[in-house]
Each structure stands twice: as C-alpha cells, then as structure tokens.
Amino acid sequence: MTTLLVVAKEPRPGRVKTRLTPPYTPQEAAALAEAALADTLDAVAAAPATRRMLVLDGRPGPWLPPGFDVVPQCGGGLDERLAAAFAACGEPALLVGMDTPQITPSLLTVDFEDCDAYLGPAEDGGFWALGLADPDPALLRGVPMSTARTGALQHERLLAAGLRVRGLPRLRDVDTAADAAAVAAATPRGRFGARFRALGEVGAR
C-alpha cells in the first residue's frame, strides 16, 4: 500500500491563490482555494492508502475530513518542502497539491510493482502528482520549482537516478481565473465547481 500526501496552504485571504486577484477578491480567491482543497482531501480520503498525511502551511480548519495526520511544512523553497514531505514517509508515497480539485480516487490508486515512480504533468509545465516507491528526498532537492520546465526537469531527475517512471494523465492546475473556469466546467459536481458558480462571472468585472 501507499502513503498519500497532500501539500497545502491554509486557505486564508491574501495567502492563497493570489494570481486569482483580480478579478476575484482575496476573500473569493480563498473560498475557491478552500473548495479545491476540500475536493482534493475527499478524493484522497476515498483512495486506498495505509496513511494519509496533510503537509500544511498554517492551521487545519473545518474543511479537513477525519483520517489525516497533519504535519507542518518545513521552511525553505518548494523543493525542500516537498523533499521533507517524502522524508517523513517510510513506505511508497504519492504526493499531490491542492490545485487540482478534479482528481479522483482512481487517479490516486497507484501500484509500484512494475515501476519506481509516477509523475503527473500539469498543463503549465509543472506537475500535479509525484509518486516514489523509495521516497528519497534527494530526488527533489535542487529541482527548480514553479517554472514552465519543472515537470520536465523532475522527470529528467528521476530518469537520471535510474528509475522506471510511469506517467499519469496531464491535468490543469487552478492558478488563474481562466484555469478556475476550465476546471469548474470539468468538475460540476464538486465543491470547487459549486463555489465557482456561486461567485458568478467575475471575469466581466
């Protein structure tokens, strides 16, 4: 079995989804972030796992379902924070963020029997998921994050380590208002889609 890791920020106005403002207010952007996080945690809760961990920058809130171990994020860059999350695992692990509320339990059900790593590319050039049979933090440290080449560079790092890498479907992160509209349209039944519709067409503001 596998540990499922979610790396997230507490959805507080002004601290999350700042690229959504404008057209959204900081409060509206935080509401969208909370909905995305809640959908993500629901998918993780429904997927098979030996352990579920929320690696959190901030404090947990009512959006957190039962069954998760909450651990604080360490300091440093994103590569260091992701590396530390994997270092806390003693078994195969799959890590996701809070920016892809369209994920499903089936996407998170991975088998390392015939591969060493999984990588889920994001449309912006990053990655939405990383799975490691041997959660070695050195596989992430030093990989430039938040660039259009992050996913490709992480893939190169895995191959250079001699790992057998299996790809996951390409997904769209929610970073901009256009991303939010596209993801909400793809997930009409989730909290994120409902929150997006409740906020209305802010793009006309």
Q: Which residues contact 42 (CB under 8 A, 6 or more apart)?
A: 65, 191
Burial 26-49 (b: 16+ CB within 10 A, else e): bebbbbbbbbbbbbbbbbbbebeb
**Residue 158 pLDDT:** 98
pTM for the model stands at: 0.94
The backbone torsions φ and ψ at residue 29, rounded to the nearest 5 degrees and listed phi first, read -60, -40
Quick: pLDDT tens for 123-176.
Answer: 999 999 999 999 999 999 999 999 999 999 999 999 999 999 999 999 999 999
pLDDT of 204 > 60? The answer is no
* 8 A C-beta contact, residue 4 and residue 132: no
* Nearest CA among 177, 173, 172, 174 for reference residue 20: 177
- What whole-number distance in Å separates Cα of residue 113 and Cα of residue 129? 18
- What whole-number distance in Å separates Cα of residue 51 and Cα of residue 148? 31
Residue 24: pLDDT band with limits 50, 70, 90: very high
Quick: pLDDT tens for 83-137.
Answer: 999 999 989 999 999 999 999 999 999 999 999 999 999 999 999 999 999 999 9
Quick: pLDDT tens for 136-148.
Answer: 999 999 999 999 9
pLDDT mean over 48-68 = 97
- What whole-number distance in Å separates Cα of residue 98 and Cα of residue 132? 19
Give, in order, the Cα–Cα distances in Å from 91 to each of 86, 104, 136: 9, 22, 10
